[in-house]
Chains A and B, each alone.
Chain A
Amino acid sequence: MQIECFRLIDRIIALDLAAKTIRVEANVPTESTIFEGHFPGHPLMPGVLLLETMAQASGWLVIGATKFTCMPFFAAVKEGKFRSFVTPGMALIANAALEHEGSGFAVTRAEIHCDDKLICDATLTFRLVPFPSPDFRDSMEKFASSIAFPMELARHD
């Protein structure tokens, strides 16, 4: 994770478009300024960042499912539950499944595990919007490549 620049996914382990699922690695850093305040002497990964981790995993799934034609923007969360504390250095696995791809929106079900223990889960909704600019898309493709996104899915006419 690069928490300070909000890049929370380290690597895409598997992206299965037939099953409409994704599995990613998200390793919590051992040190971060965030832990100085959350909380002093008792560092915990903030729940909002766990939620964002599930959103980013879901986002890469949606980008894959839509063949890199649009950008998913986080729009709503339902049934979000934080079941266990996450501390610095923990190796997280986030899974997401595409529950529905509608017209201009998508709904996913996501969860995070650590050592097979369920950490949190939620149902997430995204608005799907055309990439605002070619440069934006290029930057997303570069980042996708850096986290082992299967780039053959990014090819477009």
Chain B
Amino acid sequence: MPETFETVANIISETCDIARDKIKPESHAINDLGIDSLDFLDIAFAIDKTFGIKMPLEQWTQEVNEGRATSEQYFVLQNLSSRIDELVAAKKA
């Protein structure tokens, strides 16, 4: 996960022009870093390409909107990194 977080943090820093040292594992992409939905598409594109996965953003958003999950589960970066690791592992399985 630490390596995944580093990669994600670098993607966010480059994509959104946010200083790398402001991006922490406990940062919430939207609430703390101020990333909007359009910028998040760029981030999702870079993550998908880098890790060879397809992050299920629509499913996650629906779960949050319906109250079946919290946004922290998917958009706090250490949690996002864990989800990415799960998707990578599932693809390899």
Contact yes or no, B38 A103, CB < 8 A: no
Q: Is the interface of B mostly helix, strand, loop or mixed?
A: helix
Among the listed stretches B5-13, B21-29, B52-60, B78-86, which one makes contact with chain A, having 4 or more residues with CB under 8 Å of it? B52-60
**Distance to closest chain A CB from B65 (angstroms):** 13
CA distance A76 to B43 in the complex (A): 13
Q: How many residues of B contact A (CB 8 A)?
A: 14
Which of A75, A103, A125 is the one whose CB lies under 8 Å from B55?
A103
**Distance to closest chain A CB from B92 (angstroms):** 20
Contact yes or no, B41 A75, CB < 8 A: yes
Q: Is A104 an interface residue (CB 8 A)?
A: yes
CA distance A100 to B43 in the complex (A): 13
Contact yes or no, A102 B55, CB < 8 A: yes
Chain B positions within 8 Å of A, measured between CB atoms, are 38, 41-42, 44-45, 48-49, 54-59, 61
Chain A positions within 8 Å of B, measured between CB atoms, are 75-76, 100-105, 107, 125, 127
